[in-house]
Amino acid sequence: MALVVQKYGGSSVANAERILHVARRVAERKRAGDDLVVTVSAMGDTTDELIELARQVTQRPSDREMDLLLSTGEIVTCTLLAMALRDLGVEASSFTGAQAGILTDRTHGRARILGVEPSRIRACVESGQVAIVAGFQGITPETDVTTLGRGGSDTTAVALAAGLQACCCEIYTDVEGVYTCDPRIEPNAQKLKEISYEEMLEMASQGSRVMHPRAVELGSIYNIPILVASSMKVAPGTLIHEVSAMEPSNKVRGISHDNNIAKVTVLGVPDKPGAAATIFERLGAANLTADTIVQNASAHHESTDLTFTVNSDDLQRALEVITPVVEEIHAAGCITDDQLGKVSIVGTGVLNTPGYAPRMFKALADAGINIELITTSEIRITCIIAQNRIADAVRILHRTFELEAPAVDAI
Amino acid sequence: MALVVQKYGGSSVANAERILHVARRVAERKRAGDDLVVTVSAMGDTTDELIELARQVTQRPSDREMDLLLSTGEIVTCTLLAMALRDLGVEASSFTGAQAGILTDRTHGRARILGVEPSRIRACVESGQVAIVAGFQGITPETDVTTLGRGGSDTTAVALAAGLQACCCEIYTDVEGVYTCDPRIEPNAQKLKEISYEEMLEMASQGSRVMHPRAVELGSIYNIPILVASSMKVAPGTLIHEVSAMEPSNKVRGISHDNNIAKVTVLGVPDKPGAAATIFERLGAANLTADTIVQNASAHHESTDLTFTVNSDDLQRALEVITPVVEEIHAAGCITDDQLGKVSIVGTGVLNTPGYAPRMFKALADAGINIELITTSEIRITCIIAQNRIADAVRILHRTFELEAPAVDAI
């Protein structure tokens, strides 16, 4: 009898009918003998509707109030799921993030989980009930309600699995698993049977919107196997776990992409210590994450151009932060391009195995796709290219690295 | 600088516009120098919508889950009001019932407040902020969320006023105060400037739906003056407080009525000790409140008829409870009438002052209204009559006891 933590996302619980569907799945699993803790998101568009309600009252909602407001969405879902389960004869109780002991820092809107004290959840499960926990939310030491930001419910699920020492965490969503690339772009995309945390992290943060990177990271730290599968179909999903038996040839596992990249170039940054630090300190203070950062060593050792990318949605705010800094550090100016995207090849060892990088660059060049910037990690090579060539690039790279073959499933 | 607890009901915060209106009123009052704690209900029909959502999932929602579900309605309102106040430049924070320290028993759906530990609310007010508290909800010793049942937000407000030793509690609602009778029935109904807790209690429990009796009772115990006034208009309301200077002649203060009364008569109850007790024990165990109870002493000391009234909505459930009991105690049977209502005259001393009862009975008789049952308290005389004569009876008694004259306002 294993303890399993499940998570059902917003589209899986969008209305009463879907909640009943989820309840039937949970009931079946419970009757099969597993102990279950289930985390849920808010129903469908509830979060957007609450945000709209706040907008009708003020253009500048306070973060603290916004968090308490939004937290109600997940509470509604979890009470309904608990009711539906009881109706099916399965004892179940719902819990807020606070009741479930999800303890966070005080960063409203994107709080980080500091710890989990799941004594109530454990007692609930040990009494034979299914525990339903509101995702996306936690509580500060002062008992203020916080929300965990994007992908918050995934993070709740994995944190609970870690806190409860569950055997695994199952994320049920509107996709069937992790694919070699976005199946909407390349119909030959293959579903992966398994993937390592590191590879998934690169796939996720590079734009494969299956799971939030924070949740994957947490799974990696606590070594929680995470299954990503469909909440609608009964089909095998993708298991994210510590892959021990590595294939001799470190293949590319998948292609990820992101359509919303903006590039900011600060021109003529004086070649003095601290100039770059000032820029990124300010961005950080405004909660802006600069993704790719490139600085070319200047030829004359006097000034240099510094380029970074942000999500297109953040460009306006980034410029508001950067413009005074440009003056302050005596840079020459600032230019931007918000019509960019990025495409990456992901796989353990791609960077250390000769041949992958040139194959990637050549494939793009052969298709007439200009590479604006290149960045790499241990297991990823990313190219920033024009937004309107992203789909082409995904298809070309999928073919180049022979990901159409189902054989890719065997690590 | 006085500490005041205010409460705004559901229709006063039905949409963003009305919440902004309430925010402006609160802001004005705060700027005038008072310290404020504000309790709010759920927006308009929110509670009904949440109940409907639960019905879509199950016909038998669990009480515990229902409470957690419904509690979200008031949380939404209080976050929005806090945001609106901040937008007006008034610092404000919102709190759930749990955060506000509203401690209750475990009776889900109609929990009773066991105590208030308002340390967070006090700290919030002392820091110069307006504290906004979700009404209608509390928390058990196990940190389960409860709701307080009908009139719950009124009770929250008065309990907070008591816990914070506030100078008074102000209930803002869609009526302008307490009237000598329902102004929709008798246009000459007069608004009372003040009324004693006891009189208000009789007015409220007899069907003047201005404030819930529990809240009035709590105000009486802790001696909290309660002002009932309009949330829309700026007009003097009615002050419910300990009236010390009594008028020499104990006048009738008002006429209250209730349209939904059902009568149950258990026929041929054996005249043995315990028979009546069994009936009312069972009703109590099913959470049914028998209102008026009448038992005629039997002529032969063998059997008697026992009559009681319940709210018409509860008749079906009452019959389910009573039917097996009738058999058990060897009674002859059970008959019902659900087309009844009740009308009362309320005023300190009406029962002890000769003349009021006969004047009431004669006025009804003159109008051809048959009295089914009569009950009395220290300050009230109630007649159960046909439902379709209630409006007539209210108008007749209002005239009979000369309540049209504004002079009634002076106690």
Q: Write out pLDDT tens, residues A239-258.
A: 999 876 555 455 788 999 99
Taking contacts as CB-CB distances below 8 angstroms, the residues of chain A near B71 are 75
Whether A59 has its CB under 8 Å from any CB of chain B: the answer is: yes
Whether A51 has its CB under 8 Å from any CB of chain B: the answer is: no
Most B CBs within 10 Å: which of A72, A87, A121, A129, as the mutation test of the B interface?
Answer: A72
C-beta atoms of A69 and B62 within 8 A: no
Distance (Å) from the alpha carbon of A63 to chain B's nearest alpha carbon? 9
Taking contacts as CB-CB distances below 8 angstroms, the residues of chain A near B15 are 56
Most B CBs within 10 Å: which of A57, A90, A93, A120, as the mutation test of the B interface?
Answer: A57
Whether B75 has its CB under 8 Å from any CB of chain A: the answer is: yes
Taking contacts as CB-CB distances below 8 angstroms, the residues of chain A near B80 are 53-54, 57, 65, 69
C-beta atoms of A72 and B68 within 8 A: no
**For residue B303, how many other CB atoms are within 10 A of its CB?**
18
**Cβ-count burial B61-96 (b if 16+ within 10 Å, e if not):** bbebbbbbbbbbbbbbbbbbbbbbbbbbebebbbbb
Does residue A155 register a pLDDT over 80? yes
Distance (Å) from the alpha carbon of A106 to chain B's nearest alpha carbon? 15
**On the CB side of B157, how many CA atoms lie within 13 Å of its CA?**
30
Distance (Å) from the alpha carbon of B29 to chain A's nearest alpha carbon? 19
Q: B220-224: long-range contacts at Cβ-Cβ below 8 A with a sequence spacing of 24 or more?
A: B221/B162, B222/B158, B222/B161, B222/B162, B224/B158, B224/B161, B224/B162, B224/B166, B224/B168, B224/B169
When computed from its CA atoms, the radius of gyration of chain B, rounded to whole angstroms, is 23
CA-wise closest residue to A78 among A118, A136, A39, A49: A39
C-beta atoms of A80 and B54 within 8 A: yes
Whether B51 has its CB under 8 Å from any CB of chain A: the answer is: no
How far is B371 from A71, CA to CA, in rounded Å?
54
Contact criterion met (CB below 8 Å) for B365 and B397 = no
Distance (Å) from the alpha carbon of A228 to chain B's nearest alpha carbon? 26
Task: Give the range among A12-16, A281-285, B227-231 with minimum mean pLDDT.
Answer: A281-285
Residue B166 CA to chain centroid, in angstroms? 22
CA-wise closest residue to A146 among A98, A101, A99, A100: A98
C-beta atoms of B72 and A68 within 8 A: no
CA-wise closest residue to B16 among A73, A72, A55, A68: A55
Q: What is the pLDDT of residue A207?
A: 65
CA-wise closest residue to B83 among B74, B91, B73: B91
Does residue A408 register a pLDDT over 50? no
**A73 → chain B, closest CA residue:** B72
C-beta atoms of A94 and B68 within 8 A: yes
Most A CBs within 10 Å: which of B17, B22, B47, B69, as the mutation test of the A interface?
Answer: B69
Helix (H, G, I), strand (E, B) or coil at A228: strand
Whether B79 has its CB under 8 Å from any CB of chain A: the answer is: yes
φ, ψ of residue B204 to 5 degrees: the values are -70, -50
DSSP one-letter code for B299: S
Does residue A410 register a pLDDT over 60? no
- Chain segment A216-230, per-residue pLDDT in tens: 999 999 999 999 999
Whether B61 has its CB under 8 Å from any CB of chain A: the answer is: yes
**Mean pLDDT taken over chain A:** 90
Q: What is the pLDDT of residue A52?
A: 95
Spans in chain B with pLDDT lower than 70: 1, 206-208, 244-250, 297-301, 406-411
Distance (Å) from the alpha carbon of A85 to chain B's nearest alpha carbon? 9
Whether B87 has its CB under 8 Å from any CB of chain A: the answer is: yes
Q: What is the pLDDT of residue B300?
A: 61
Q: What is the pLDDT of residue B234?
A: 85
- Which residues 1-30 of chain A have a CB within 8 Å of chain B? 15-16, 19-20, 23
* Order of strands across the sheet that contains B113-116: B113-116, B102-104, B137-139, B145-147
Among B59, B84, B94, beta carbon nearest to A58: B84
Whether B256 has its CB under 8 Å from any CB of chain A: the answer is: no
C-beta atoms of A65 and B93 within 8 A: yes
Average pLDDT over residues A22-45: 96
C-beta atoms of A65 and B87 within 8 A: no
Distance (Å) from the alpha carbon of B44 to chain A's nearest alpha carbon? 14
Q: What is the pLDDT of residue A291?
A: 80
Taking contacts as CB-CB distances below 8 angstroms, the residues of chain A near B82 are 62, 65
Distance (Å) from the alpha carbon of B63 to chain A's nearest alpha carbon? 9
Reported as a pLDDT band with limits 50, 70 and 90, residue A7 is very high
Q: What is the pLDDT of residue A289?
A: 82
Q: Burial of A358 by CB count in 10 Å (0-12 exposed, 13-18 middle, 19+ buried)?
A: exposed
CA-wise closest residue to B319 among B355, B357, B266: B266
